[in-house]
């Protein structure tokens, strides 16, 4: 009888978790977008297994920051943009949101470029390939219900498993992999430091903080389920860097040992073909397409959430275009303009993406500082404010990221 009660208890807990699951996993996985895949590929190809230990730190930092976003959303029932406007005023919020928009827009541009890169791998004209997927994304977000859109996102998250398969196909050097995972290695080498900071900067993002909070609000998670929501965020942070781990080792086990230098994810896919066979090349390319499409969807929605919250307008995925015209117009504008830009011959994509990454790293410390002010407001959060230990951990996390951010900016421009 006791065993039966225990089974019923855990069955109920599982059902509660499944009803809550989604925002944390989706936000975390979408961090592995086209820009992320490119960064992880370069890290593995250029430095082997030496950067794997950094992923453990990234996982911790990602969980701490997104857990705060989740808690702010679940407890207040408001998105980050709403809270910033209410607590810091419209003038400050409007100035900040302009910077957020440009940082997010460049990330969307990188993901649309990722779709174009897959077209290049298979020698399909960009003019046909990219617009088709852009229209599909726009249609799914516009016409789909919240649950339909979320299920597509979660399916996309599962498809990232192809990178895990690729890692096993590559047959990595297990002792070197274990050493790289647990023995810190940080040479004072400009290329190594730049790639390491990019590794962190591509995972902790401005759009991610807005999206995770707003998506929990949109899903309608109750405060009594905050533990399950925290588990969702934890699993999302783990899955994000688990996938990144296998992208790095697949490139380390093949490209690094052969001394192959790459500049982006397309180079990685093309180089894996002769080394591991066409199947590995296709897995990597399909993974890049999946990552790009999920990134476009999530980042455009995160941008629309941020802007409409600051302006105080309707912004639910379940709303129709007529009910939330600005929300869907922002999504459509970002997708349409980025599609046009990617189709421009000789467009200086690398320059734009480098500048955007620098902008992202400059804005995030301000976002984190604002979040800490909000989450320690007892009138706002009640019993769910940060405790002393949580504040210490949060400040260490945010402080270290700020140092890393400015280091990356220095290495980018000097």
pLDDT in tens, 50-88: 999 998 888 888 898 889 999 999 999 999 999 999 898
297 has a pLDDT exceeding 70: yes
pLDDT for 208 beyond 70: yes
Which contacts (CB < 8 Å, 24+ apart) does range 341-349 have?
341/109, 341/112, 342/109, 342/112, 342/113, 342/115, 342/116, 342/126, 342/130, 343/116, 343/126, 343/127, 343/130, 349/109, 349/113
Mean pLDDT of 211-227: 84
CB 370 within 8 A of CB 84: yes
Q: Mean pLDDT over residues 273-302, rounded? A: 80
- String of b and e for 222-252 (b: at least 16 CB within 10 Å)? eeebbebbbbbbbbbbebbbbbbbbbbbbbb
Model pTM above 0.75? yes
Provide the pLDDT for residue 265. 67
Q: Is the pLDDT of residue 35 over 50?
A: yes
pLDDT band at 316 (very low <50, low <70, confident <90, very high): low
Among 70-79, 100-109, 154-163, name the one with the lowest average pLDDT: 154-163
Q: What pLDDT is recorded for position 141?
A: 85
Q: What angle do CA 406, 407, 411 make, to 5 degrees?
A: 115
**Residue 276's pLDDT is what?**
65
Residue 383 has pLDDT above 50, yes or no: yes
Q: At what angle do helices 80-88 and 52-76 cross, to 10 degrees?
A: 70
- pLDDT-derived band at 182, boundaries 50, 70, 90: very high
Can you say how many angstroms the Cα of residue 26 is from the centroid of all Cα atoms in its chain? 8
Residue 18's pLDDT is 44
4: Cβ contacts below 8 Å, ≥ 6 apart? none
d(CA 272, CA 165): 13
pLDDT at 19 over 50: no
Cβ neighbours, 10 Å, residue 378: 9
Superfamily for the 23-413 domain: Amino acid/polyamine transporter I (1.20.1740.10)
Q: Which of 86-90, 130-134, 393-397 has the lowest mean pLDDT?
A: 393-397
* Average of per-residue pLDDT across 5-21: 48
What value does the mean pLDDT of the chain take? 82
């Amino acid at each position: 009888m006791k065993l039966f009660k225990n089974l019923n208890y855990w069955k109920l807990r599982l059902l509660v978790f499944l009803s809550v699951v989604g925002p944390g996993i989706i936000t975390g996985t979408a961090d592995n977008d086209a820009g992320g895949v490119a960064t992880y590929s370069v890290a593995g190809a250029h430095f082997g297994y030496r950067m794997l230990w950094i992923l453990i730190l990234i996982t911790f930092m990602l969980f701490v920051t997104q857990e705060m976003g989740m808690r702010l959303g679940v407890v207040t029932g408001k998105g980050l943009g709403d809270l910033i406007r209410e607590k810091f005023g419209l003038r400050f919020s409007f100035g900040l949101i302009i910077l957020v928009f440009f940082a997010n827009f460049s990330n969307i541009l990188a993901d649309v470029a990722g779709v174009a890169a897959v077209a290049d791998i298979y020698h399909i004209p960009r003019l046909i390939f990219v617009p088709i997927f852009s229209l599909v994304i726009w249609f799914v977000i516009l016409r789909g219900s919240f649950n339909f859109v979320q299920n597509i996102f979660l399916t996309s998250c599962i498809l990232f498993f192809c990178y895990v398969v690729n890692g096993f196909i590559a047959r990595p050097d297990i002792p070197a992999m274990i050493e790289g995972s647990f023995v810190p290695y940080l040479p004072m080498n400009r290329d190594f430091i730049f790639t390491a900071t990019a590794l962190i900067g591509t995972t902790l993002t401005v759009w991610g903080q807005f999206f995770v909070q707003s998506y929990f609000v949109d899903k309608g998670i109750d405060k009594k389920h905050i533990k399950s929501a925290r588990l969702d965020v934890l699993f999302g942070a783990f899955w994000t860097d688990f996938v990144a781990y296998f992208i790095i080792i697949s490139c380390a086990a093949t490209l690094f040992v052969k001394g192959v230098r790459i500049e982006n994810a397309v180079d990685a896919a093309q180089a894996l073909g002769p080394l591991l066979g066409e199947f590995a090349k296709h897995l990597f390319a399909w993974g890049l397409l999946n990552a790009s499409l999920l990134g476009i969807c999530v980042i455009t929605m995160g941008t629309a959430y941020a802007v409409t919250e600051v302006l105080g307008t309707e912004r639910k995925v379940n709303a129709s275009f007529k009910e939330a015209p600005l929300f869907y117009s922002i999504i459509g504008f970002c997708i349409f303009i980025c599609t046009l830009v990617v189709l421009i011959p000789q467009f200086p994509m690398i320059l734009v993406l480098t500048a955007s990454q620098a902008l992202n790293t400059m804005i995030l410390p301000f976002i984190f500082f604002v979040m800490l002010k909000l989450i320690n407001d007892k009138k706002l959060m009640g019993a769910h404010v940060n405790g002393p230990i949580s504040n210490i951990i949060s400040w260490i996390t945010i402080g270290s990221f700020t140092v890393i951010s400015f280091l990356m900016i220095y290495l980018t421009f000097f």
